[in-house]
Structure 1
């Protein structure tokens, strides 16, 4: 296939808004091989492994751990950062094309200088990262899992068992809504699991208070500002900078920059964000422009489609009167955002292959059997996915609210 057909770098916004990024089209075996080689390089000589969500919250935990373990700092210079392109691991958020030949990138991965290795993961592939630590980590390694929550214990059971045979200790820090049976099984396996109150803490808060290290005020501020965005409090304007920077840059770069500068990012990062936000706002405007409001039971639900920053789009629909918002992505997944009026997002997502918080959740309905289904998804702007999620809303509203998870 011609690389230009799957590259979205030079597409006009109108087209970029409705199709997935380049990473979506990479075959799984190529993607898996790249991830395995990257994990092997990161873990070579490492004393600690951190499997973390590659957003600002998960990466803040990595910065805390590297500080606590007095790991080497590799702070990028502006010129180096300009040359770095974001990998953006999740296919639905991959705005940049991959290498012309992805297999060539395997030979370009150098061993990491860090004793605290970073393995970026998502809720959909946390078990693969655990398997990589078990396979490539040295015997006796310490492992931390941050800002990730398995929906079912059996999803990670075998990989966690293998990891515990390799690792000297496994600690798991999170703030999502854990099922009591899942949490109990993880702890029974031998993991030190600490789950914070999802209404009060982000995972960086949990790591900050759980690690036996006297962090200076810079890191307490990092956790607080990260929480401001992760819990969608929107009281500190610096939190948007952290979230956007984590989203657009390479995870390794983000960790080193916030460890060095804290929340007061250097000028060259500000210039980078300003440039990227022009396109970000254009994608937001496209998604808002195709949004609609639907009455489901006693609630007003906003629903739209597009590659965009879902939080800003959800906020716009809330201002239009939505009690809850659904943003369907070109890659087939969807983000569900609630308000004080609607706090059952995790229940809705749970009915369509997902989960999350009462006010913020994600899912990917299991409705895509072949590329023709995806073609229909793109050309109809997610019509089937929207219908499935609306049905989930209706089903949830016919039941009593679930009791709050015991954190």
Structure 2
């Protein structure tokens, strides 16, 4: 396959909006080989390891741990690279800065190793720390929550056996039996109140260290975005920057400056937001409103920033918003009138918070399924998720004594239109 076919920078915005980024087209085996190699290089001489989600909240935890252990990388090198990117007007960065992550191999390593993870790769990343880190290493797991203990059982127990200490700081809603099993494995698990704290808050509180005020403010502004408070405009800057740049760059800059990002980073964010706003507009324009039970569900498709799209759909009358992504996953956002996003996600291979959750339905058997996904703008995924809303509506009806009946076949408008 020619590189140009998967190079997003060569696509018009309408096409870019409905197709996944270049990283999607790399086989998992290739990604796994790169992940193994990077983990080995980062971990072999590390004194501390942090396995974390790679959004602003998870990376904020890393900034705190590196400050605690005096292991921050020099921010000047990263600032110089940002200036280079801004000078090169033709350079298009992929989401999550895959290309820039490759360049991290040329930079100095921190004694606090950053192992980026996700709910879908957590068990593999725990095993990598167990395989490649020195015996007795101190390990932190941040901003991640397994749906079932058996998903991480073997890997976590292997890690606990070789590590000196394992701390797990999170703020998602844990199932009691999962939390109990993690603690029984010898892990220091601390879970903050999901509607009051972010994981950076928990890490700030639990680390035995007198942090500078900028880290206290960093946690507060990170919380503002992560809990969808949206009261501090800086929180959107942090979220966007974490998404657009490399993990190491974000940690270095956030650790050095806190929530008040330097001018060169603000310029970079403004540059990237031009396209971001266009992608948001495209997703909002193709959205539909569906009635499910007592709720109005706004559902759309596209590569976009899901929080801003969800805000727009709520302004248009939606109680809940679903943003289906070209890569096959979906974000579910709630509101004051819908706090069951995690229940919907549970039915479609996902999880999360009452007002924010994610999922990826297990419906993609081959590339033809993905081709159908792109050309129909997520029709099957939309139908599956709307059916999950129907099941949650039935549960809500049972709780209130309402039958929650729809039409004779129990179908949504979406289901019927696709048949």
Normalising by structure 2, what TM-score?
0.90
User: Would you say the 8 A contact 1:23–1:98 is kept in 2?
Assistant: no
C-alpha distance in 1 between matches for 2:107 and 2:135: 18
Give the C-alpha shift of residue 98 in structure 1.
5.3
- Per-residue displacement from partner, 1:363-384 (whole Å, max 9, x unpaired)? 0000000000000000000000
C-alpha distance in 2 between matches for 1:187 and 1:83: 46
- Give 1 or 2: higher helix fraction: 2
Give the C-alpha shift of residue 72 in structure 1.
4.1
> Cα gap change, 1:110/1:128 in structure 2, threshold over 3 Å: closer, same or farther?
farther
With 114-123 and 303-312 compared, the bigger mean Cα shift is at 114-123
Superposition pairs for residues 62-77 of structure 1, below 5 Å?
A: 62-77=62-77
Superposition pairs for residues 230-379 of structure 1, below 5 Å?
A: 230-379=226-375
Superposition pairs for residues 87-236 of structure 1, below 5 Å?
A: 94=95, 109-110=105-106, 112-236=108-232
- The DSSP-based 3-state class of the residue aligned with 2:64 is helix
Give the C-alpha shift of residue 73 in structure 1.
3.0
* 1:60 paired to 2:60: yes
- Per-residue displacement from partner, 1:43-67 (whole Å, max 9, x unpaired)? 1311000001111000000000011
Give the C-alpha shift of residue 110 in structure 1.
4.5
Unaligned runs of 5+ in 1: 86-92
Counterpart in the other structure of 1:35: 35
- Per-residue displacement from partner, 1:129-174 (whole Å, max 9, x unpaired)? 1111001100000000000011111111111111112210100000
- The DSSP-based 3-state class of the residue aligned with 2:395 is coil
- The DSSP-based 3-state class of the residue aligned with 1:352 is coil
C-alpha distance in 2 between matches for 1:402 and 1:124: 32
Q: Which has the higher contact order (CA 8 A, sep 6+)?
A: 1
| Structure with larger Rg | 2
Counterpart in the other structure of 1:387: 383
User: Would you say the 8 A contact 1:7–1:97 is kept in 2?
Assistant: no
Counterpart in the other structure of 1:88: none
Counterpart in the other structure of 1:80: 81
C-alpha distance in 2 between matches for 1:297 and 1:400: 9
Counterpart in the other structure of 2:17: 17
Unaligned runs of 5+ in 2: 87-93, 400-419
C-alpha distance in 2 between matches for 1:153 and 1:22: 33
C-alpha distance in 2 between matches for 1:5 and 1:94: 17
- The DSSP-based 3-state class of the residue aligned with 1:17 is helix
Give the C-alpha shift of residue 95 in structure 1.
7.0
Give the C-alpha shift of residue 283 in structure 1.
0.5
- Structure 1 runs (4+) deviating above 6 angstroms are none
With 209-218 and 143-152 compared, the bigger mean Cα shift is at 209-218
Give the C-alpha shift of residue 111 in structure 1.
7.5
Counterpart in the other structure of 2:50: 50
Aligned Cα root-mean-square deviation (Å)? 2.0
User: Would you say the 8 A contact 1:22–1:98 is kept in 2?
Assistant: no
- The DSSP-based 3-state class of the residue aligned with 2:10 is coil
User: Would you say the 8 A contact 2:43–2:132 is kept in 1?
Assistant: yes
Give the C-alpha shift of residue 3 in structure 1.
1.1
Q: How many residues were matched structurally?
A: 391
Normalising by structure 1, what TM-score?
0.92
User: Would you say the 8 A contact 2:62–2:251 is kept in 1?
Assistant: yes
- The DSSP-based 3-state class of the residue aligned with 2:31 is helix
Give the C-alpha shift of residue 112 in structure 1.
4.6
